[in-house]
């Protein structure tokens, strides 16, 4: 056991756990933050997508010891706080399109979408079909077309 | 049908309760009786859903609408919600008949209720069909009772009052909320009441597009799935599994060492492997990987795709019609094993005590789970509480309660509560599969007429032990099927029918009894049967000098199918000019009392097929997909559209990319980058759903789009490439990944997630 400190959704947290436990389980099993989902634990399905210092990443594939004390981890629960609203514009767009079916993948999809918009903006361009084609997040209910529409709509309001 | 409903009165019961509660027989027995046909008939008038309704009727018990003191209304639906939208549809039914805003209705999932017998099964796209009348009746009686209560208090006639948005009003200006009447309207004794239901033309909620009632929770990460539930001391638990399907544990050789690992609390041998309970799932993975286990044989050791296929071919039933005096077209298709894995892995929480047990899991047949788990634990049924959790998908998987039974076994063995999760690799390798099957078709034709159509479907047995069997046994005498058909054959006949005027038509099923862990997968037989059928129709068209559309136009029988077909031809611009290597395909399907037609365009040009995607299968891309659906009446057009979109992505995957490769007794697939369900780079850029209701009662929807979309993609591929595919999915012959080792059964999670 060792002590690990980082910033989670705006608050500094400290947990006692072995170094190699992946961050996903620290979030879900020890801190009770269940927005990031397990869909494979192999960095494939992307259901656990969250942000580290504003960039998308998959906590299923990061040992907790790799997180530094000042790293800011944002899960779906902390997403709206970044703009001071109850819902982030991307979440609003998801509601407009009624994207979710079972909803299991959608927190990860939304976190991926927000990071994509930021990345594309930083590159000074608009989202293309090729950008959307590169999203790896699985939706086993097959909501892909509504996800694409929602991302474009959410991006316009971000 | 709307006329019938207007004239008829429906029965419900006021319950003795502190606030107004109205219960109703879960199934209207009159309707079910009326559905019994007099002649032997195929799927079209008496299908699987009707059978389920019928079986439900005499055993049906009461389900109730309850009006709370705050004016909200609660209903616990005895069905599973796995993304198909049943809770939203039920809330709409209640809101409609009560004149209540949708957000005032709370729909939860009922615990296992043994008294409902077989009436607590979510499957066969049957839910909306079976609950439409009962739920509305209960809600309408509740509204009627609230109105009567207000009328009595105010000394006016019931008929002088109107209801809107949960408020009762009188012309005098007097108003009362449902909340204010919830107690006064309660009954002190059980009392029967009858009511007329609204006619379709008066609907303001039903038939209008509505968002899912749980959408907000879902996008905020607050929707609580089984995986997210917290039960005190139910610690993460996983199982080290055998290297072949259903392999057995001979011995564990290092139990003490694994027990000493960080976070590990328990190690126990169970029926299907060795369980590890720990503080986190990550430590379960470490623990199960560290186990040294000697394994005994499984149930299908040595079986691979090729050996299973050889057994299937040997079991194919003969054709009856010789092709001596006519032209004959013979075709045969093979469909690989496929996985119904939902994204949320199989999981269950179990807290087994000495005299009782409590289970939480996403279960579509919770009563059977309860009965079996009680027997397994040696407890009376009443001592086992089974709660139905929200499921992150199902696609047939949650018809079975394997994971709940295993959680109960582990909890009993270690004497502590457990939260059991199967790893993704477990789900693919040891979970339920849609069985490998073949479909042979022989068509004879002469002088522009089709004389006969014979289809022989041969499958590794599909397991139906989840309880449908009980229904069939009970109602075998009423079934319009002569003879002593096996259960699977009965299901096959009830779900399959040819939509074409093809003369003498026979469709038969044979099964081989290999002990794979099988089950339904967003439909049972239709995607395979229909794909084979539609490919043959296209080949027949070519032989008879017709194009696929004119061929179907000539031979389609059913008027509703003809209507959706013609609409798809127009809306999808059949025959429009396309470049070489790009083609359209069209397919029809009728099931669950719905009619549906799918028209797709596929791009098979090399620059598309070979476009690079890391660790993904690209291949041909369906660029446009259109589906026209006649659902009878669309309860929630927005939800129906969602089901059609999802079904089309499933059909695309089944035609092109998604399958299990069975090798030496286990599937090679272990992750979503091995099992190629449709991804963003495969999904059509242009996907359209046209809802064309012809009126009447609502049809099933959950599985409806899969068969016609799979078939349309296959037909389009054949036309684009000039090669008719015979093995599905089309890329099954190429193994596009490096398989994970079979031991240890769950791969380690990567550690490089910050590298990119």
Q: Which residues have C-beta within 8 Å of that of residue B365, sequence separation ≥ 6?
A: B120, B121, B122, B123, B399, B401, B466, B467
B697 pLDDT band (50/70/90 cuts)? confident
Please report residues of A whose CB lies closer than 8 A to that of B684. Answer: 145
A153 CB burial (10 A radius; 0-12, 13-18, 19+)? middle
pLDDT value of position B48:
54
> Picking from B271-285, B490-504, B721-735, which range would have the lowest pLDDT averaged per residue?
B490-504
Inside any domain, residue B718: yes
> Picking from B156-170, B313-327, B558-572, which range would have the lowest pLDDT averaged per residue?
B313-327
Interchain CB distance below 8 Å, A57 and B678: no
Distance from CA of A11 to the nearest CA of B (A): 18
Q: Please tell me if residue B220 touches chain A, with a CB cutoff of 8 Å.
A: yes
Residue B471, pLDDT above cutoff 50: no
B276 shares a domain with B189 = no
Percent of chain B with pLDDT over 70: 88
Inside any domain, residue B427: no
Interface of B with A in 603-642 (CB under 8 A): 613, 615-616, 638, 642
B259 shares a domain with B147 = no
Distance from CA of A145 to the nearest CA of B (A): 7
User: What is the token pair recorded at B47?
Assistant: 């299908």
With b for 16 or more beta-carbon neighbours within 10 A and e for fewer, the B213-229 pattern comes to bbbbebbbbbbebbbbb
pLDDT value of position B264:
98
Q: Please tell me if residue B233 touches chain A, with a CB cutoff of 8 Å.
A: no
Average pLDDT, chain A: 96
B530 shares a domain with B438 = yes
Residue B659, pLDDT above cutoff 60: yes
Interchain CB distance below 8 Å, B754 and A66: yes
> Picking from B116-125, B515-524, B616-625, B638-647, which range would have the lowest pLDDT averaged per residue?
B116-125
Residue B725's H or E segment, with its range, is none
Please report residues of A whose CB lies closer than 8 A to that of B227. Answer: 34, 37-38
pLDDT value of position B33:
32
| Residue with the larger pLDDT of the pair B488 and B316 | B316
Mean pLDDT for the stretch of residues B330-344: 97
Select from A38, A129, A144 the Cβ nearest to the Cβ of B649: A144
Mean pLDDT for the stretch of residues A105-127: 97
Please report residues of A whose CB lies closer than 8 A to that of B338. Answer: none
Domain span holding position B537: 309-325+332-337+433-728
Q: Please tell me if residue B736 touches chain A, with a CB cutoff of 8 Å.
A: no
Q: Please tell me if residue A101 touches chain B, with a CB cutoff of 8 Å.
A: yes
B477 pLDDT band (50/70/90 cuts)? very low
How far is Cα B131 from Cα B748, in angstroms, rounded to an integer? 45
pLDDT value of position B481:
37
**Residue pairs spanning A and B at CB distance below 8 A:** 226
Inside any domain, residue B738: no
B444 shares a domain with B593 = yes
Q: Tell me: cis bond preceding B729? Omega within 30 of 0 counts.
A: yes
pLDDT value of position B487:
61
Interface of B with A in 162-181 (CB under 8 A): none
Report yes or no: B492 and B457 within 8 Å, Cβ to Cβ.
yes
Inside any domain, residue B44: no
Interchain CB distance below 8 Å, A136 and B749: no
B694 shares a domain with B557 = yes
Looking at the DSSP bridge assignments, the partners of residue B236 are B419
pLDDT value of position B29:
40
Interchain CB distance below 8 Å, A41 and B749: yes
| Residue with the larger pLDDT of the pair A12 and B82 | A12
Select from B218, B645, B672 the Cβ nearest to the Cβ of A145: B645
pLDDT value of position B52:
53
Interface of A with B in 106-135 (CB under 8 A): 106-107, 110, 129, 132-135
Average pLDDT, chain B: 89
Residue B202, pLDDT above cutoff 80: yes
Q: Please tell me if residue B280 touches chain A, with a CB cutoff of 8 Å.
A: yes
Nearest by Cα to B589 from B642, B654, B507, B530: B530
Looking at the DSSP bridge assignments, the partners of residue B667 are B662
B712 shares a domain with B597 = yes
Report yes or no: B701 and B132 within 8 Å, Cβ to Cβ.
no
B568 shares a domain with B707 = yes
pLDDT value of position B114:
65
pLDDT value of position B40:
30
Please report residues of A whose CB lies closer than 8 A to that of B218. Answer: 100, 103, 106-107
Please report residues of B whose CB lies closer than 8 A to that of A1. Answer: 262
Interchain CB distance below 8 Å, B754 and A52: yes
Residue B309, pLDDT above cutoff 90: yes
Percent of chain B with pLDDT over 90: 72
pLDDT value of position B478:
35
B706 shares a domain with B560 = yes
Q: Residue B623: which CATH number?
A: 3.30.365.10
pLDDT value of position B322:
79
Residue B704, pLDDT above cutoff 60: yes
Nearest by Cα to B713 from B655, B754, B631: B655
- Chain B residue closest in CA terms to A109: B219
Q: Please tell me if residue A6 touches chain B, with a CB cutoff of 8 Å.
A: no
Q: Tell me: cis bond preceding B407? Omega within 30 of 0 counts.
A: no
Distance from CA of B754 to the nearest CA of A (A): 7
> Helix count (H) and strand count (E) of chain A?
5, 5
pLDDT value of position B615:
85
Interchain CB distance below 8 Å, B647 and A142: yes
> Picking from B333-347, B651-665, B695-709, which range would have the lowest pLDDT averaged per residue?
B695-709
pLDDT value of position B38:
28
B479 pLDDT band (50/70/90 cuts)? very low
3-state DSSP of B609-621 = HCCCCCCCCCCCE
CATH classification code of A2-79: 3.10.20.30
pLDDT value of position B7:
60
How far is Cα B272 from Cα B302, in angstroms, rounded to an integer? 19
Select from B341, B678, B754 the Cβ nearest to the Cβ of A142: B678
Report yes or no: B616 and B676 within 8 Å, Cβ to Cβ.
yes
Residue A123, pLDDT above cutoff 90: yes
Distance from CA of B639 to the nearest CA of A (A): 9
CATH classification code of A81-157: 1.10.150.120
- Chain B residue closest in CA terms to A19: B262
Report yes or no: B245 and B517 within 8 Å, Cβ to Cβ.
yes
B460 shares a domain with B528 = yes
Inside any domain, residue B265: yes
Q: Please tell me if residue B395 touches chain A, with a CB cutoff of 8 Å.
A: yes
Instruction: Tell me if the pTM is above 0.90.
Output: yes
How far is Cα B312 from Cα B437, in angstroms, rounded to an integer? 7
Interchain CB distance below 8 Å, B85 and A91: no
Inside any domain, residue B753: no
Select from B343, B649, B749 the Cβ nearest to the Cβ of A61: B749
User: What is the token pair recorded at B245?
Assistant: 């399907």
pLDDT value of position B125:
65
Mean pLDDT for the stretch of residues B397-426: 97
Tell me the per-residue pLDDT of B499-508, one tens digit each, with 9 for 90 and over.
Answer: 999 988 888 8
Q: What DSSP assignment string belongs to B453-515?
A: EEEEEEEEPPP-TTTHHHHHHHHGGGSS--S---HHHHHHHHH----B--SEEEEEEEEE---
- Chain B residue closest in CA terms to A40: B424
Tell me the per-residue pLDDT of A71-96, one tens digit each, with 9 for 90 and over.
Answer: 999 999 999 876 678 899 999 999 99
Q: Which residues have C-beta within 8 Å of that of residue B208, sequence separation ≥ 6?
A: B636, B637
Inside any domain, residue B103: yes
Tell me the per-residue pLDDT of B55-66, one tens digit each, with 9 for 90 and over.
Answer: 444 334 577 899
Please report residues of A whose CB lies closer than 8 A to that of B427. Answer: none
User: What is the token pair recorded at B504?
Assistant: 């003498």
Tell me the per-residue pLDDT of B292-308, one tens digit each, with 9 for 90 and over.
Answer: 999 999 999 999 999 99
B54 pLDDT band (50/70/90 cuts)? very low
How far is Cα A133 from Cα A128, in angstroms, rounded to an integer? 9
B319 shares a domain with B291 = no
Q: What DSSP assignment string belongs to B7-40?
A: H-EEEEEE-B-SS-EEEEESS-HHHHHHT--SS-
The alpha carbon of residue B468 and the mean position of all alpha carbons in its chain are separated, in whole angstroms, by: 14
How far is Cα B16 from Cα B21, in angstroms, rounded to an integer? 8
Please report residues of B whose CB lies closer than 8 A to that of A28. Answer: 281
Q: Please tell me if residue B673 touches chain A, with a CB cutoff of 8 Å.
A: yes
> Picking from A48-57, B72-81, B121-130, B146-155, which range would have the lowest pLDDT averaged per residue?
B121-130
Q: What's chain B's length in residues?
A: 756
B407 shares a domain with B530 = no
Domain count along chain B: 3
Please give the biggest Cα pair distance in chain B. 84
Interface of B with A in 84-113 (CB under 8 A): 84-85
Where do we find the tokens 């850029």? B685
Q: Please tell me if residue B391 touches chain A, with a CB cutoff of 8 Å.
A: yes
Residue B470, pLDDT above cutoff 60: no
How far is Cα A50 from Cα A48, in angstroms, rounded to an integer? 6
Report yes or no: B37 and B480 within 8 Å, Cβ to Cβ.
yes
B262 shares a domain with B372 = yes
pLDDT value of position B417:
98
With b for 16 or more beta-carbon neighbours within 10 A and e for fewer, the B237-266 pattern comes to bbbbbbbbbbbebeebeebeebeeebbbbb
Select from B215, B228, B671 the Cβ nearest to the Cβ of A40: B671
How far is Cα B21 from Cα B511, in angstroms, rounded to an integer? 48
B318 pLDDT band (50/70/90 cuts)? confident
> Taking the domains of chain A in order of start, what are their residue ranges?
2-79, 81-157
Interchain CB distance below 8 Å, A66 and B751: yes
Please report residues of A whose CB lies closer than 8 A to that of B651. Answer: none
pLDDT value of position B594:
93
Q: Please tell me if residue A141 touches chain B, with a CB cutoff of 8 Å.
A: yes
């Amino acid at each position: 056991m060792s002590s690990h400190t980082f910033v989670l959704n705006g608050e500094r947290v400290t947990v006692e756990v072995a170094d190699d436990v992946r961050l996903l389980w620290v979030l879900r099993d020890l801190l009770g933050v269940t927005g990031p989902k397990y869909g494979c634990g192999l960095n494939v399905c992307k259901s656990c997508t969250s942000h580290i210092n504003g960039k998308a990443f998959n906590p299923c594939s990061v040992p907790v010891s790799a997180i530094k004390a000042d790293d800011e981890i944002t899960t779906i629960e902390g997403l709206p706080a970044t703009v001071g609203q109850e819902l982030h514009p991307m979440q609003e767009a998801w509601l407009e399109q009624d994207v979710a079916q079972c909803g299991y993948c959608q927190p990860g999809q939304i976190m991926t979408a927000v990071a994509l918009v930021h990345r594309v903006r930083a590159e000074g361009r608009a989202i293309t079909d090729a950008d959307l084609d590169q999203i790896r997040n699985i939706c086993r209910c097959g909501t892909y077309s509504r996800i694409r529409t929602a991302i474009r709509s959410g991006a316009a309001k971000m | 049908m709307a006329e019938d409903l207007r004239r008829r009165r429906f029965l419900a019961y006021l319950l003795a309760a502190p606030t107004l509660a109205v219960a109703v027989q879960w199934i209207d027995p009159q309707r079910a009786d009326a559905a019994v046909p007099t002649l032997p008939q195929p799927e079209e008038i008496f299908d699987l859903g009707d059978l389920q309704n019928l079986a439900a009727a005499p055993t049906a018990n009461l389900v109730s609408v309850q009006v709370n003191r705050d004016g909200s209304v609660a209903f616990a639906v005895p069905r599973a919600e796995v993304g198909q939208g049943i809770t939203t549809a039920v809330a709409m039914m209640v809101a409609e008949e009560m004149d209540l805003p949708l957000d005032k209705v709370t729909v939860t999932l009922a615990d296992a209720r043994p008294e409902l017998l077989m009436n607590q099964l979510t499957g066969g796209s049957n839910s909306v069909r079976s609950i439409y009348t009962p739920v509305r009746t209960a809600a309408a009686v509740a509204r009627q009772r609230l109105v009567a209560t207000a009328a009595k208090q105010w000394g006016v006639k019931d008929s002088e009052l109107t209801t809107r948005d949960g408020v009762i009003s009188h012309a005098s200006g007097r108003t009362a909320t449902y909340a204010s009447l919830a107690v006064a309207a309660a009954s002190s004794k059980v009392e029967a009441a009858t009511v007329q239901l609204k006619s379709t033309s008066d609907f303001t909620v039903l038939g209008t597009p509505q968002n899912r009632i749980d959408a907000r929770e879902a996008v905020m990460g607050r929707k609580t799935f089984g995986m997210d539930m917290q039960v005190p001391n139910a610690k993460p638990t996983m199982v080290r599994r055998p290297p072949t399907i259903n392999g057995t544990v001979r011995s564990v050789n290092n139990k003490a060492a694994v027990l000493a690992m960080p976070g590990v609390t328990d190690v126990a041998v169970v029926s299907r492997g060795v369980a590890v309970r720990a503080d986190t799932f990550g430590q379960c993975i470490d623990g199960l990987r560290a186990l040294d286990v000697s394994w005994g044989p499984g149930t299908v050791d040595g079986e691979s795709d090729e050996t299973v296929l050889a057994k299937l071919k040997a079991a194919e039933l003969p054709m009856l019609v010789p092709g001596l005096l006519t032209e004959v077209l013979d075709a045969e298709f093979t469909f690989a094993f496929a996985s119904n894995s939902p994204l949320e892995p199989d999981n269950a929480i179990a807290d087994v005590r000495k005299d009782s047990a409590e289970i939480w899991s996403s279960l579509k047949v919770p009563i059977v789970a309860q009965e079996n788990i009680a027997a397994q634990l040696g407890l009376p049924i009443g001592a086992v509480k089974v709660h139905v959790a929200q499921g992150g998908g199902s696609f047939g998987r949650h018809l079975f309660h394997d994971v709940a039974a295993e959680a109960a076994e582990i909890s009993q063995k270690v004497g502590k509560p457990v939260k059991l999760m199967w790893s993704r690799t477990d789900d693919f390798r040891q979970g339920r599969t849609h069985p490998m099957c073949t479909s042979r078709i022989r068509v004879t034709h002469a002088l522009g007429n089709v004389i006969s159509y014979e289809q022989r479907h041969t499958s590794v047995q599909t397991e139906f032990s989840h309880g449908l069997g009980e229904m069939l046994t009970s109602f075998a005498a009423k079934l319009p099927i002569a003879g002593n058909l096996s259960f699977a054959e009965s299901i096959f006949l009830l779900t399959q029918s040819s939509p074409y005027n093809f003369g003498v038509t026979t469709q038969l099923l044979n099964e081989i009894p290999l002990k794979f862990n099988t089950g339904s997968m967003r439909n049972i037989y239709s995607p395979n049967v229909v794909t084979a059928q539609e490919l043959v129709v296209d080949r027949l068209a070519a032989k008879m000098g017709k194009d696929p559309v004119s061929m179907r136009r000539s031979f389609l029988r059913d008027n509703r199918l003809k209507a959706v077909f013609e609409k798809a031809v127009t809306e999808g611009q059949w025959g429009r000019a396309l470049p070489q290597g790009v083609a359209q395909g069209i397919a029809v399907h009728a099931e669950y009392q719905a009619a549906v037609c799918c028209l797709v365009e596929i791009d098979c040009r090399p620059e598309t097929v070979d476009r690079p995607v890391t660790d993904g299968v690209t291949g041909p891309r369906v660029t446009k997909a259109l589906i026209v659906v006649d659902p009878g009446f669309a309860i929630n057009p927005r939800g129906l559209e969602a089901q059609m979109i999802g079904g089309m992505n499933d059909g695309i995957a089944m035609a092109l990319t998604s399958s299990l490769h069975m090798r030496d007794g286990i599937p090679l697939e272990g992750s979503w980058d091995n099992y190629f369900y449709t991804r963003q780079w495969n999904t059509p850029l242009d996907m359209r759903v046209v809802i064309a209701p012809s009126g009447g009662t609502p049809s099933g929807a959950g599985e409806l789009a899969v068969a016609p979309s799979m078939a349309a993609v296959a037909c389009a591929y054949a036309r684009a490439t000039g090669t008719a595919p015979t093995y599905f999915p089309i890329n099954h012959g190429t193994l596009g990944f490096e398989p994970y080792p079979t031991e240890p059964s769950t791969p380690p999670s990567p550690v490089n997630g910050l590298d990119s």
